[in-house]
Chains A and B, each alone.
Chain A
Amino acid sequence: MILSVAERSYLYESLKQSPPIRPDGRSVKQFRPIQTNVGFLESSNGSAKITLSDGSECIVSIKSKVIEKASIESGRDTLVDVDIEVAGQRDDSSFILNLISTLKSIYSNYISQESLSLTNRFTYKLFIDILVISNYSYPLTLISFTSYLALKNTYLPKLTSSVDDKEIEEQPTFHDYEFVKLQIQVPIIFTVAIIDNNYIIDPNSQEMEVSDNGIIIGWYDGNIISPIENVKLNDGNSKSIKPELIIKSIELVKSLGQSVIESLNAAE
């Protein structure tokens, strides 16, 4: 995004005010409104789409596969696999790889093994495929919200064979048409932009362009988790952050998390 010098300084000065005046009038802790669709992909176990007011759009599909637990223990396989495609970005660009590595580490840490476990020997593996059709701002929050909805609305085939297959060599068998809803807690990730002494949640593209720096913060079940990282929100305007602002941003995220989860749950 390209801005003129006068525009840039107008936006920066507005966001510097106390309280900051955001270009779309939102408050410090207000997100852009979202529109949701859930469970529209017939061939996947779970799916969700979120559209933002600026036209950004993200689709997430969840698919599953039965794998042996032994392959995870030996490190040959992982419980969760994440793939991201963002329109206009190369698959091997550092932008995409960073998103993948952040999401992989958060999902493999916080999606519990028990929730996916089938029998003593077998478990489900989840494939989270993310497609960002258009985006004008840093897409991580959008992606994590969409994945949250998709994971919360994932239905896996119901197991009909016995859970205990330690003694007998047996392949698990499934019910023909009954599904069980996946019961898991899903972490979400927030983006906070730092401007002077202010911090704002969910920056839009203009706010990103003038911001001093950005922080992504994970939230899970009422607590702050990793990743806690700073991210580049624009090309070459970044400045250093005061530690107090990081702590304040973390506090803000901690206080918002629950109400965001409630709003998202209401959309199911």
Chain B
Amino acid sequence: MDILSVSKGSGFAYEDAEVGSDEDVDILIDEDETRGDDVQLDGSVKTSVVTPGELVTDDPIWMRGHGTYFLGTNTYSSVAGTISRVNRLLSVKPIRGRYEPETGDHIVGRIAEVGQKRWKVDIGAKTHAILMLGSVNLPGGVLRRKSESDELQMRNFLKEGDLLNCEVQSLFQDGSASLHTRSLKYGKLRNGYFISVPSSLIVRAKNHSHSLPGGASVIIGVNGYIWLRKTTEDISQANNTSLSKNATAISAKGQYNVGSGSVSITRLEEESSWEIYSDVNDEISSTLRSTITRYANSIKALAFCEIGISVERIISAYEASMAYEDSGKLVDRETMETIGQQVINGEKYRGQ
């Protein structure tokens, strides 16, 4: 049994990783070229990965987007990241950096402040997001009028530190987000454990709430906040049906409507009792607690190896971690690297 595992640091000189990074760049360039953009970049754009201060192009034809600045006719990168082009808009997407909210993102947030008719929510973005009192389901049904007494007891619904599961409703001019929880699949979180990973690692998917083998379920917030919890009956139902319902909601009208495709209003009314703001956890067995811990460590291992996080990979990392009987082994760097490698190899074999 290891008590203290010690590994030697790599020293302070930067490791010479040129060989590896060159390969990456080549691949990215290939992708860009095969994409068949009708606009060709000026010859000075050599790489798709740029660092701050690097010249991106000297052609003034481009519109400068986020992550760039210009001096004269030259456009430079102001962040380390990949170049992205949409028509004539040239921007650099940072590899690291804070989460940038987009409308429709399913995210997990933590209440930072209770204010007048609104909550400020920490979502890992540059600014706190705002959740209006009018954008949450209150006990007593969806069509209930918000009264003054609701304003006075806001802290009874959500207070500082509470975690919630919500969707970005819209963006303000300054890029901060306005959230809503007007659906039964959103709301206050309980029965589980919170971990946070860099938001750039989250793979965007249709659905971000999943049931996992072993009686646990996960909400993979697009902002990198992840909630692991016990699967209760309503969660498993929602997870099973939401996919198909979402599909119909989108196909029927040709666009996605906020909150649609989840639950009918009548059921919402029945279930919006005070219980949705409960702070009390259900009974959770110690086996399930161990399972949740193992999932958490598997996700941390994926994040450590800088592997994009999706539910398939979480499950495959979890299965790989089963080789270690004691999930405490998973805090070691080497173990995390092995698991990351196994996940990647597994995908290669399956031809993904």
Which stretch, A19-27, A120-128, A161-169, touches the partner chain B? A19-27
Tell me the nearest residue of chain B to A264, going by C-beta: B6
CB nearest to A19 among chain B residues: B286
Q: How many A-B residue pairs have CB under 8 A?
A: 135
A256 to B286, CA, bound (A): 27
- Chain B 59-116 interface residues, beta-carbon cutoff 8 Å to A: 110
Partner of A24, one of B8, B279, B331, B333: B331
Number of interface residues of B (CB under 8 A): 43
Additional pairs, 4, CB under 8 Å, beyond known A6-B190, A10-B192, A23-B193: A10-B193, A10-B281, A24-B331, A25-B330
Residues of chain A touching chain B, judged by Cβ–Cβ distance below 8 Å, are 2-7, 9-11, 13-14, 17, 21-27, 29-37, 40, 49, 51, 53, 256, 259-260, 263-264, 266-267
Q: Tell me which residues across on chain A come within 8 A of B58, comparing CB atoms.
A: none
Can you report 13 A-B residue pairs in the complex whose CB atoms are below 8 A from each other? Answer: A2-B161, A3-B161, A6-B189, A10-B284, A11-B193, A14-B293, A17-B286, A21-B286, A25-B329, A31-B3, A31-B5, A35-B8, A260-B3
Given contacts A27-B326, A37-B9, are A256 and B3 in contact (CB under 8 A)? yes
Closest Cβ–Cβ distance, residue A11 to chain B (whole Å): 7
Interface set of B (CB-CB < 8 Å, partner A): 1-9, 11-12, 110, 160-163, 188-194, 279-281, 284, 286, 289-290, 293-294, 296-297, 300, 326-333
Rounded to whole Å, the gap between the CB of A253 and the closest CB of chain B is 11
Distance, CA A23 to CA B189, complexed state (A): 17
Q: Which of B1, B12, B289 contacts A17 (CB 8 A)?
A: B289
Contact for B279 among A5, A11, A29, A40, CB less than 8 A: A5
Expressed in whole angstroms, the Cα–Cα distance for A259 and B161 within the complex equals 39
Query: What residues of chain A lie closer than 8 Å to B300, measured between beta carbons?
Result: 24
Residues of chain A lying within 8 A (CB to CB) of residue B5: 31, 33-34, 263
Tell me whether A263 and B7 are in contact in the complex, defined as CB-CB below 8 angstroms, given that A2-B110, A17-B289 are known contacts: no
Partner of A4, one of B2, B3, B189, B289: B189
User: Which A residues lie within 8 Å of B160 (CB)?
Assistant: 2
Give the CA-CA distance A25 to B161 in the complex, in Å: 24
Question: Could you tell me the distance in whole angstroms from the C-beta of A168 to the nearest C-beta in chain B?
Answer: 45
**How many angstroms between the C-alpha atoms of A86 and B341 in the bound complex?**
37
Please indicate the chain A residues that have their CB under 8 angstroms from the CB of B294 in the complex: 25
| Contact residues in B for A53 (Cβ distance below 8 Å) | 331, 333
For the complex, give the distance between the alpha carbons of A11 and B292 in Å: 12
B299 to chain A, nearest CB (A): 11
